[in-house]
Every structure is written in structure tokens, then in C-alpha cells.
Amino acid sequence: MKVALVGATGMVGQVMLKVLEERNFPVTELIPVASEKSVGKKISFKGNEYTIVSMQTAIDMKPEIALFSAGGATSLEFAPKFAEAGTTVIDNSSTWRMAADKRLVVPEINANILTKEDKIIANPNCSTIQLVMVLHPLNLKYDLKRVVVSTYQSVTGTGKKAVDQLNAEINGNDGVEMAYPYEIFKNALPHCDVFADDDYTKEELKLMTEPKKIMGDDSFNLTATAVRVPVQGGHSESVNIEFENEFDLDEVRKILSETSGVTVLDDVTNKIYPMPLYSEGKDEVFVGRIRRDKSQPNTLNMWIVADNLRKGAATNAVQIAEYLVENKLV
């Protein structure tokens, strides 16, 4: 099982390496790929050193699986070339997510749609993954009507440059390169990704479209506001969910507690609720502050938190790869 890791030196790429090792994914040969300036450098994996190679070298080695986390332009150019060589690509960028002929997969929800013919598989947006992990089981029971989500997103979602900016501002250091148009420390920016023509950001539009594709259901409405906050690790979401049918709060908690990959932290008497502080380094999606919306019927409020670099990116991609191997699709 030869596995190429495209973007091996990046923030998500490094977490992918960690997740592959932790989950003992059956890698017989790792092929780390990065930018030309990194070619020839070494990275460690499972106690061994591997040399970073160029994109073309990796394609010529015909790996069974290529995990991509190197940005949209790289994916657009090179994912098809890997696919043509017979490699199954699992791509973490937004490039292929809404393409009609590409699968958008959260394994706990819709891995069963994958076939051997799916050579480029899209990994959803980090904020989308944690949202649908909670929405899907509730939709099956109560039938979604409308979802309103507001995000509180970690700077790690932007990358190393944003982490460096936050840490420089915390430490009072000047001269650091700015990842954001404003300071992020002691601030909140209602500006994740770039603005589209309709004044929504790309991040908000991803949240509004990807869940419907993953869940195979476009009968409900969804709107989003995405906000960047000075947190280093872990995205949070305030979610308001209107159902077609009435629900019971205890049953909601039971459904979620029995959902694989979801952990309910919902005991306000003892101040137990999800926080980014607790999610960092973990693969679960945490949900709490589950309560009825008193302003209208059949409506629920909740708070969802997950590590955006793990389940929101690296872990979900590796889980897709695990499904492919277990079901002999590669």
C-alpha cells in the first residue's frame, strides 16, 4: 500500500502523518510530496525517514492512494494526473466538492456511495464535517426544515501564517506578516475566506451547500455566518435547527450519544459543555447546550465543537482511505 501525501510539510499534512500512524493505517511505502523548495528534505514517519519528492516523481511511483492537502490550484492541476495513473485521490481542498461527478464524503454518513471508479474523492470543509455529523442522525428522525449556523473558527483553519500572527500579537511582537486584514487577538472577524458577489464568504457558501450533498437531501434550507476568533485549535458552531416534526430532548440526546464519532457533553448543572480547549487533538465531534428554542415550535439550539485539523480535515480523509482499503476499492 503505497500512499502519497501531497502537502506533507503543511499544517494539515503534518496532522495526517500523525493520524496515519495513530490509526496504524497499512502504509508499506510513504511518498511525501511538497513544493519544489522542500524536495530532498526528510520527514519522519513510524520511526523511519522519508525523502520529499516532486509531484511528477510521486505520480510515476503509482501509489494506490494520494492524500491531498496542498490547496485548490495544486489539486486542480495534479489530482487528475494521479487519477490517470490509477491512484485514488482524497482531496482536502474545495476544488472538487460540488462537482456533480465527484463524491463528497463523511464516512459515518455516506461512505457506502464510493466505488472503484471514484478516483477523486472530496473531503468536506472542516466546519461542514462537524455540522453534518450532528445534523444527519437528527434529520433521519425528525426531518430537517431549516438550519441557521454561526461559526467561531480557529486561526488554524487559515494556516501557519495565521497562527504566527496570533502568537505575535499575543506576545506584543511587531513586524509579523499579516494573514488577516485586521488584528485577530482580542478580536473577532466576520470574514472567513473571500467574499462572493452576494456578500457571503466562500466559507459560508460551503456550509450552505455541502451538507445537502453529503446527506443526499436538498429539501431543507440552511444559512450561515462564519467568524474567525482568536482560538488556536478547534472550531465551534452555534446551531439553530427547525424540524418538520416534534422532538423530545431526551431522545435527541440519546440519538446523538449513540451516533458513532459524536460525544454529548451536556450537563450545565456541572458546567459541562463542549469547548475548543477540550477538543484539541481529539477525533470526536462534541455537542452540548442542547435546548429547545422558545421562540417557535419544533426548533432546537445546540453548540458543536471539533478539532478542525483532525476530524475536520486529516482524520476524515484517513477514514475515507480506511473504508477504501477495508472494502477493496483500491
For residue 113, what is its C-alpha cell? 456511495
Mean pLDDT of 36-44: 94
For residues 101 and 133, give the distance between their C-alpha atoms in angstroms, rounded to a whole number: 23
Q: Where in the chain is the domain with CATH 3.40.50.720?
A: 2-124+313-326
For residues 35 and 37, give the distance between their C-alpha atoms in angstroms, rounded to a whole number: 5
Q: What is the 3-state secondary structure (H, E, C) of 135-157?
A: HHHHHHHHCEEEEEEEEEECHHH
What is the band of 240 on the pLDDT scale with cuts at 50, 70, 90?
A: very high
Mean pLDDT of 219-247: 97
Q: Evaluate if residue 42 carries a pLDDT over 90.
A: yes
Pairing label, strands 235-243, 144-153: antiparallel
Give me the sign of the Cα torsion angle 168, 172, 177, 182.
positive
φ, ψ of residue 44 in degrees (nearest 5): -105, 140
Mean pLDDT of 231-256: 97
pLDDT tens-digit series, residues 78-127:
999 999 999 999 999 999 999 999 999 999 999 999 999 999 999 999 99
Look at residue 225 in the predicted model and tell me its pLDDT.
Answer: 98
Helix axes 249-257, 126-142, angle to 10 degrees: 130
Mean pLDDT of 263-290: 97
- The answer to whether residues 229 and 152 touch, using CB atoms and an 8 Å cutoff, is yes
Q: Evaluate if residue 270 carries a pLDDT over 90.
A: yes
Q: Evaluate if residue 174 carries a pLDDT over 90.
A: no
What is the band of 7 on the pLDDT scale with cuts at 50, 70, 90?
A: very high
Q: Evaluate if residue 175 carries a pLDDT over 90.
A: no
Share of the chain above pLDDT 70, in %: 100
Exactly one of 126, 136, 191, 192 is catalytic; name it. Answer: 126
Edge-to-edge strand list for the sheet holding 29-33: 29-33, 2-6, 65-68, 88-91, 120-122, 103-104
What is the band of 73 on the pLDDT scale with cuts at 50, 70, 90?
A: very high
Q: Where in the chain is the domain with CATH 3.30.360.10?
A: 127-308
CA distances from 97 to 210, 221, 254 (A): 7, 19, 31
The highest-level CATH class for domain 127-308 is alpha beta
User: Is residue 136 annotated as part of the catalytic site, yes or no?
Assistant: no
CA distances from 277 to 149, 154, 267, 274, 321 (A): 21, 11, 17, 8, 28
Three-state SS for 258? coil
Mean pLDDT of 159-186: 95
Q: Which of 216, 207, 280, 206 is nearest to 237 (CA)?
A: 207
Q: Cα 236 to the chain's mean position, in Å?
A: 12
What is the band of 324 on the pLDDT scale with cuts at 50, 70, 90?
A: very high
Mean pLDDT of 22-42: 95
For residues 221 and 218, give the distance between their C-alpha atoms in angstroms, rounded to a whole number: 8
CATH no. for 2-124+313-326: 3.40.50.720
Q: Report the chain's C-alpha Rg in angstroms.
A: 20
